Every structure is written in structure tokens, then in C-alpha cells.
Amino acid sequence: EQRVFSGVQPTGNLHLGNYLGAIKRFAELQHDYPCLYCVVDLHAITQPPSVWGGPEGLAANTREVAAAYLAAGIDPKTQIIFNQSQVPQHAELAWLFNCVARMGWLNRMTQFKEKAGKDKENASVGLFAYPTLMAADILLYRATHVPVGDDQKQHLELTRDIAQKFNNDFADSIEKNGFEDAYFPLPEPLITGPATRVMSLRDGSKKMSKSDPSDYSRIVLTDDADTIAKKIRKAKTDPEPLPSEAEGLDGRAEAENLVGLYAALSDRTRDDVLKEYGGSAFSVFKPALAELTVAKIAPIADEMRRLTADPGAVDAILSDGAEKAAEIAEKVMAEVSAIVGFVSGRKR
Ligand code: AQP
């Protein structure tokens, strides 16, 4: 059975990279797979409270991500939208995976190195264990496909390693418990399309990120039309006109990024966009990109504002989703516990 799982952290500043690299794809996939889309609040708290805004910020950001899912068109009646902390099995399975994963595997994770910065001694233990929690998120639902941005590729590989090691370590017990093959699937990343790595508008070598100190580096979903136009007008570019084919973008990171944005927003290929804009100067292309961005983003932002104005309604959708997620999670966790040999009899 195939199933999609993915998540977004409620750390504020939801941007065009999060939308095009992840949330827009989430909405598209609901037509082909049963999907679970999680607001990963347990991941958010791996960073200091100042990053996620403290308790009030966390709650508001959680509702904002849920609203972004809904505004992007994910249907909460047919798919599962929920926040991670309402299903305690995520933390439970993550503990087990902390005991399956090896220190050496986690030591290689580049996201930890980037987020911990120079002061590794002062990073939370949770930040180091972030990838094992992510593996638990996915495998708790025995998900087979995971749509993510390019930056999450390494974590997906680690998830597969954890699944494989669990399947090997407990192979006999898995069989004794009546499972023919491996217990966990090896989930596949879905990293496709022209916007798997949206870059900063100020620096074509850095990815667009929530935590960049420059507001001009990113377009956030709630930016108004004037702000979007201004950020795109000020975006870094080179002096050459656009090439007529995507190959001509090689070595022109900023140009490549803007053409990629146009392609992703209009559901076209880069080559197709360049058929129209090849030979154009940025003074022509940038206003067209700004107009397209506003046309695609403004309705989503409006809908997000409408939804978050009624926090109770968003919370009800999250609780309902958590209820449905827990049904799967409880069953899987019970099976995993039996495979590992935890004695249980208590109803829960
Ligand atoms: N620039 C990006 N381009 C394409 N996809 C991106 N994603 C993030 N940045 C880009 C994808 O968005 C999903 C959710 O990301 P997240 O909330 O888990 O957090 P993140 O990766 O930490 O987001 P940021 O913006 O990169 O935050 P900071 O500043 O903290 O580093 C994921 O699927 C991710 O791949």
C-alpha cells in the first residue's frame, strides 16, 4: 500500500521556497495517494524558543502552517492534516530509532552542522536527533513517498538506513509476528519540478530560508503585492539578457532561480518560459515575475488570513486529523512494540 507523508515546521516566515518546494506539491499529490500532512511542532522546538516565538508564537505558527495547507487546496476531509505533538507515538518511535541509528550516521548530517553553527556544545540534543524524529514521522505511517525540498534529501537517506537496520536487526521477530517481508518500507523522496531548491533573492548560492536575517532574501506568503514587487525588483541578477534555452542558465545562479520561480508558479518548464522571455532584459522579466507571483500567492494569503481569524476552526481540523492519524499510529506502534519485545497488556 502506498502512502505519502510530509511536514513543515511551525517556525514562522513561511516562504515561497516552502510553498513551491513542498506545500504546492503536497496539494498535487493528494489526487494520486492517500496523504498525511503534519505540522511538525516537535521539530520546531529543537531550536531555541526565540526562533519559534515562544508558546504563543508556536501556537500561532502552527495554525498558520495548517492554514497554508488548507489554502493551498489540501482537502482535510479526504487527507489527514494534523500537528505532530497530538500523536505521542511520534516521540515514542523516535526514541526507538535513537537506539537503532548510529552516532556516526547523525554526525554526518549537514543540516545539524548548519543549524548548530560554531557553538555545537550549546545546540540542543533534540537538534542532533532531529533526523531520527523525522524518520519516526514517516515510518510511523509506513509511508512510501515523501515530497520534500532538495535540502531534505540527506535526511530521507538516513530514514531509509534506519528502516533497513530495523528490518535487519529484527528480521526473525518480524517474521514471527506474521509479516512476510520487511516491516518498514524504504520510503522514496519525491524531489521533482523546477523549484526543489529556491534560492535567496540576495544570494544565488544560498537557499531561501526562514532564518535569513535579510527580509529581502525571501518572499513570505503573507507579503502584500507592493512588497512582493519591491523584493523582486531588488533581487540580485547579472547584466545579461535571458538566454533562449535552460542550458544557457548554467553558471547564472540568480537568473536560473528567477526563471525557476516563474516556471514553478506557472506550471511550465524553464525551456518553455525561456521560449517566451529569451532575449529579454530583467527590466522586462522582473515585473512579469512579480505580477505572476502576486496572482498566485495573494489568493492563498487571503485564504490563510480568513482561516486563522477563526483559530478554533483550525484547531478542530487539526484535532480531527490527529484522531485519524492516531488510528494508524497506534496500530503501527503496537506492532513495532511486539516486534521489539516490549511486554504490554495495558489498554491504551
Ligand atoms: N528554499 C527552499 N526551496 C525549496 N524547498 C524548500 N524547503 C525549505 N526551504 C526550501 C522545503 O520546505 C519544507 C518545509 O521546511 P521546514 O519547515 O521543515 O524547514 P526548513 O527546511 O528548516 O525551512 P527553512 O526555510 O530552510 O528554514 P531555516 O531558515 O530554519 O533553515 C521542506 O520540505 C523543505 O525541504
Mean pLDDT of the region 73-95: 98
Residue 348: its pLDDT value, please? 63
Which residue has the CA at smallest separation from atom 14 of ligand 1?
A: 8
| Catalytic-labelled residue, pool 153, 165, 210, 324 | 210
* 3-class secondary-structure state, position 97: helix
Mean pLDDT of the region 283-312: 98
User: How many C-beta atoms surround the C-beta of residue 194 within 10 A?
Assistant: 22
- Residue 206 annotated among the catalytic residues of the structure: no
Per-residue pLDDT tens digits for 327-344? 999 999 999 999 999 998
CA distance 95 to 100: 9
Which residue has the CA at smallest separation from atom 2 of ligand 1?
A: 17
Mean pLDDT of the region 62-76: 98
The grid cell for 141 is: 505511517
Mean pLDDT of the region 267-294: 98
| Shortest-distance atom of ligand 1 to CA 13 | 25
pLDDT at position 304 over 80 = yes
Dump the DSSP string for 199-264. Answer: BPSS-TTSB--TT-S-GGG--BTT--HHHHHHHHHTS---SSPPPSSGGGGTT-HHHHHHHHHHHH
Mean pLDDT of the region 168-178: 97
Residue 161: its pLDDT value, please? 98
- Residue 115 annotated among the catalytic residues of the structure: yes
What is the DSSP secondary structure assignment for residue 126, as one 8-state letter?
Answer: H
Mean pLDDT of the region 74-96: 98
Output phi, psi for 32, to 5 deg.
Answer: -115, -20
What is the DSSP secondary structure assignment for residue 178, as one 8-state letter?
Answer: T
The grid cell for 116 is: 548548530
CA distance 330 to 335: 9
In 3D space, the residue among 337, 342, 336 whose CA is nearest the CA of residue 182 turns out to be: 336
Percent of the chain with pLDDT over 70: 100
Instruction: Give residue 130 CA to ligand 1 midpoint distance, Å.
Output: 14
pLDDT at position 6 over 90 = yes
Taking the whole predicted model, whether its pTM rises above 0.95 is answered as yes
* 3-class secondary-structure state, position 66: helix
Residue 180: its pLDDT value, please? 87
| Shortest-distance atom of ligand 1 to CA 147 | 33
Domains of the chain: 4-190+310-340 (3.40.50.620), 215-306 (1.10.240.10)
- What ipTM goes with this model? 0.97
